[in-house]
Structure 1
Amino acid sequence: MTQSGSEDSLRRTLGLGDAVVVGLGSMVGAGVFVVLGPAARAAASGLLLALGAAAVVAYCNAMSSARLAVVHPRSGGTYVYGRERLGEFWGYLAGWSFVVGKTASCAAMALTVGAYVWPEQAHSVAVAAVVALTAVNYGGVQKSARLTRVIVVVVLMVLAVVVIVCLRSAAADAGGPGPGLELGLPSGAGGVLQAAGLLFFAFAGYARIATLGEEVRDPARTVPRAIALALGITLVVYVAVAVAALSVLGPGGLGNASAPLADAVRAAGVPELVPVVRVGAAVAALGALLTLVLGVSRTALAMARDRHLPGVLAAVHPRSQVPHRAELAVGAVVATLAATVDVRGAIGFSSFGVLAYYAIANAAAWTLSPAPAARIVPAVGLVGCVVLAFALPGVSVAVGAAVLAIGAAAYGVRRWRTARRREQ
């Protein structure tokens, strides 16, 4: 396999700030504007408990990923970790879960952009967004990181305004008839777990940091620090936004809102901010789409290097030093999905795939040290991933399991054909 310094290797150009921004662009964009409503519908007044449960599992996964990234600082994330620590099949299954699930997520983010920018032409806008961001990624990872930095700043500013407006309104109405902030358990703990599984989708952005391991300077130090910082900042943002939205809408209103944060500022008595929130949502989805395409193409690169995907996708552009064929292929598939199907309901399916991906990451991290203390975090992460995956809506579990089975079958057929060729 080709290593650093050859024409197939990627250039290490990203620093700590760039890596943190890539993670924030994925997590903040995907979570606050997309998942908060469905999670509130599932958890009701247990939304904050669900957020905490998702954060605990995400923390365990992040620490496992960080430890693995130090030992294996190459592009591909858990595809590489699973292959090196558990065997070729598990690495392949992780890569399959990531590529398939996140490709659907890319289309969902593109359609989110279309829905906020021009609802009547959502599919056309989605395709245009995919084409534009694929072109940005094609130009080099540094350009992608710079654009993501701008997107993150804009989104965080919009969210700060939402939080301030909602909390001021809640404070002014304290003791009045407003919904207020309700805490506690919903009608069943299953709702909290299902919401946590959906919210986990929003925390999965740090995977993009790990998949960029071959393009980060001093990955042994940078990747673990970037993962911890991005996850911590995102959790603070999520808690603040969830509390603010619940304080003016209540769990019922938040769960039934088609555009939760726009409805929240309207309920707070500042309807003139609704367009600002809509722009912020579109920009956030663009940021998530940018980094999703970035991460999927890097995993496709790693799998193509090992011939689990067509070998032509392993090419690295000699000038921009990006996996240009993988990026074009991913962009084409996402654009096709965005043009032909509505995949906004794919959050559950994507969550199932990502949880399977991180279950393998935790199993791989378990092998790093025989010390019982070192195995606590990966053990909690592994159990948490399995529990949250099967707490998702039944359709998501069924489709996700079927897709994993198809991937496993394809791997088995490939291995059988390879063995037959060797025998001949």
Structure 2
Amino acid sequence: MKKLQRTLSLPGAIAVSVGGMLSGIFVLPGLAVGITGSSVWLAFLVASVCILPAVLSKSELATAMPKSGGTYVYIERAFGPLFGTVAGIGLWLSLLLKSAFSLVGLSAYLYVLIEVDASSTKGIALIALLIILLLNVFGVKKVEKTQLVIVSISVVSLIAIIFLGANSFDSRLLDPVFSDGSSGFIAGVAFLYISYAGVTKIAAVAGEIKNPEKNLPRTMIVSLFLITTVYVFVALVLVGNIEASVLSTDIKPIHTLFQSIGGNTFGYIAGVVGVITLLSMANSGILASSRFPFAMGKDRLMPGFLGSVSSKFMTPIPAILTTSGLIALAIIYLDVVKIAKLASAFKVLMFIFNELSVIVLRETNAQWYNPSFRSPLYPYVQIFGILSGIVLLTFLGIMPLLSVFGVFALGFFIFLLYGSKTDRSGVIVNYGIFSFLFKGSNSKKEASVKRKESKEVVNADAQVVVPLLGEESSPEMLVEI
């Protein structure tokens, strides 16, 4: 079976991770000012603290299971294929809808450059999607090079505006700091939480990262630090240069900031940077989201062809094409802005499941679970992440919560179609404190197997017996040797 090649270096991995988050600063700060006031910079900082447990937990999980698929793989191994299917479908939809949102969101910055109507905007978004699709089909190495250029331009532009905006900073514009009290501030944190959702996205392409045991945790931690620094200082300069009443409904705040400091020339530059940054998010989004159906196809939880790799380009072309097709449908037919925000609620829930997965895998003492990176301050970091995630979910509103149940239902339906016959079970079933709930069914299955004098098929692709060499980090490593 062909495997994905490890071609992503540490700088390239950081670029993919940062590129998936930079778009947040180009769209969200103005709307967040309408929720919490000039404390938007502090809301960015608190949101970063709330996301840190997910980063540490996912870093640990990724070094124990450095395979493409990310959260889907971790939850599937900890809780079983049913929850893995739900997680994979939910995160796949979340990422692809955010990619569609980024492509359609180009319109706000395209208006700065050219006059386009609604139909033209969708056409441009589809053309951009086609270009990104080709980049992903031809190989991650090419995606890495493109991503590095785009992220570098965006970061340099934002750092420049931080220094330029500091000279015209007016502290009087910061009043009031909290426009709607503590409840408004927490709502602002919950709203901005989606800005950091891409920080752990790189784990979905773990199978393509060089030296993943070291580079995966480094990528996520460094990316979170870099993007938090940019978010906080850009937001502070923003509210110190522009009145809150102007920002509260502005969906292109970076253009507004650039124009207020340097006139129309700077505004035009912001338009260009905004367009390429939103393209960057779509680029990294397609790269990461296509790996979910790829991993699920390999595990026979979705049609098997999705788990195949091109012999020529060594990329999962069927998974990339399927993902891009759904993004195209979303661009054409759906109100992707609202759907992307609703899907973000499910991503918060998945971060909670990541933290629960670390607890399950550690407490069950699964023999194969031996991550090279271990989350510090366990389990307090995970408990904080779970509790803060629950609080933020409640402040996102009813519709995002309903969308969570909808994705659960869709994942359950797909599991019934493709995954119900799988032989695997999660660690919590095999080793956990809840295993007694499954003893009856397991004993019946074992008795049936004995009567038929057949043996359990661990993996249909395995044709040889592989000895334990002492360095395997997970059972999946044995299958792919």
TM-score with structure 1 length normalisation? Answer: 0.90
Corresponding residue number in structure 1 for 2:378: 374
Alignment-mate amino acid for residue 233 of structure 2: A
* Corresponding pairs, count: 408
* Equivalent pair of 2:44/2:189 in contact (CA under 8 Å): yes
How far residue 42 of structure 1 moved from its aligned partner, in angstroms, is 1.8
SS at match of 2:174: coil
> Per the alignment, do residues 372 and 18 of structure 1 end up closer, same or farther by CA in structure 2, a change over 3 Å counting?
closer
Contact kept in structure 2, 1:182 and 1:250, CA below 8 Å: no
Q: Does 1:147 align with 2:146?
A: yes
Shift in CA distance, 80/415, structure 1 to aligned 2, threshold 3 Å: closer
Map Cα deviations across residues 127-155 of structure 1 (whole Å, 9 max, x no partner): 00111100001000010011000000111
User: What SS does the aligned partner of 2:4 have?
Assistant: coil
Q: Which has the higher helix share?
A: 1
Q: 1:10·1:322 contact (CA, 8 Å) conserved in 2?
A: yes
Structure 1 position 211, deviation (Å):
0.8
- The answer on whether the counterparts of 2:35 and 2:180 sit within 8 Å (CA) in structure 1 is no
Are 1:27 and 2:26 counterparts? no
SS in 1 for 2:379: helix
Q: Which residue of 2 aligns with 1:191?
A: 184
Deviation at 1:199, TM superposition (A): 1.5
Rg (Cα) greater in structure: 2
Shift of 1:389: 2.0
Asked whether the equivalents of residues 362 and 378 of structure 1 are also in contact (C-alpha less than 8 Å), the reply is yes
* Aligned counterpart, 1:3: none
Task: Check the 8 A contact 1:181/1:243 in 2, yes or no.
Answer: no
- The 3 A distance-change label for structure 1 pair 22 and 51 is same
Q: Which amino acid aligns with 2:296?
A: M
Identity of aligned residues (%): 25
- Specify the code of the residue in structure 2 equivalent to 1:169: S
Which has the higher mean CA deviation after the structures are superposed, 114-123 or 199-208? 114-123
CA contact (8 A) 2:355 2:385 kept: yes
State the alpha-carbon separation in 1 of the partners of residues 226 and 176 from structure 2: 23
Q: How many angstroms does 1:316 deviate by?
A: 0.4
Q: Is the 8 A contact 1:115 1:122 kept in 2?
A: no
Say if 2:59 is the partner of 1:66: yes
Q: Kindly indicate whether the alpha-carbon contact (under 8 Å) linking 2:31 and 2:250 is maintained by their aligned counterparts in 1.
A: no
Q: Which amino acid aligns with 2:25?
A: V
Asked whether the equivalents of residues 301 and 419 of structure 2 are also in contact (C-alpha less than 8 Å), the reply is no
Provide closer, same or farther for how the CA distance between residues 269 and 222 of structure 1 changes in structure 2, counting only shifts above 3 A.
closer
Q: What's the offset of the Cα at 1:183?
A: 6.7
Kindly indicate whether the alpha-carbon contact (under 8 Å) linking 1:94 and 1:356 is maintained by their aligned counterparts in 2: no
Select 2:75's aligned residue among 63, 70, 82: 82
CA deviation string 1:150-169 (max 9, x = no partner): 00011112212322332222
Query: Structure 1 residue 33: deviation in Å?
Result: 0.8
Query: Displacement, 1:308?
Result: 2.3
Name the CA distance, whole Å, in 1 between partners of 2:326 and 2:190: 26
**1:360 & 1:73 partners in 2: Cα distance?**
18
Unaligned segments of structure 2, at least 5 residues: 364-374, 424-444, 449-481
- 2:362 alignment partner, SS class: coil
Cα distance in structure 2, aligned partners of 1:161 and 1:309? 46
* Aligned position for 1:259: 252
1: distance between equivalents of 2:243 and 2:297? 48
Cα deviation digits, residues 223-261 of structure 1 (max 9, x gap): 001111111100000011100101012433322223211
Cα contact 1:76–1:298 (8 A) shared by 2: yes
One-letter amino acid of the counterpart of residue 17, structure 2: G
What is the Cα deviation at residue 409 of structure 1?
4.2
Q: Which of 94, 97, 105 matches 1:112? A: 105
State the secondary structure of the residue aligned to 2:306.
Answer: helix
2:157 counterpart of 1:158 = yes
> Any conservation in 1 of the 2:105–2:278 contact (CA below 8 Å)?
yes
What's the secondary structure of 2:61's corresponding residue?
helix
Matching residue within 218, 226, 238 for 2:231: 238
Q: Is the 8 A contact 1:14 1:216 kept in 2?
A: yes
What is the rounded CA distance, in whole Å, between the counterparts of 2:121 and 2:401 in structure 1? 28
Residue 325, structure 1, aligned to residue 318, structure 2: yes
Distance 1:269 1:146, change over 3 A: closer
Quote how far apart the aligned CAs of 1:269 are. 5.6
Q: Per-residue displacement from partner, 1:371-399 (whole Å, max 9, x unpaired)?
A: 99411111111222222122113333333
**Aligned residue runs from structure 1 range 258-407, under 5 A:** 258-268=251-261, 270-370=263-363, 373-407=377-411
Q: Which one is further off, 217-226 or 251-260?
A: 251-260
TM-score, normalised via structure 2 length? 0.80
User: Which among 214, 218, 221 is matched to residue 211 of structure 2?
Assistant: 218
- Kindly indicate whether the alpha-carbon contact (under 8 Å) linking 1:97 and 1:356 is maintained by their aligned counterparts in 2: no
- 1:150 maps to a residue whose letter is V
**Structure 1 residue 102 corresponds to structure 2 residue 106:** no
Counterpart-to-counterpart distance in 1, 2:175 and 2:422: 59
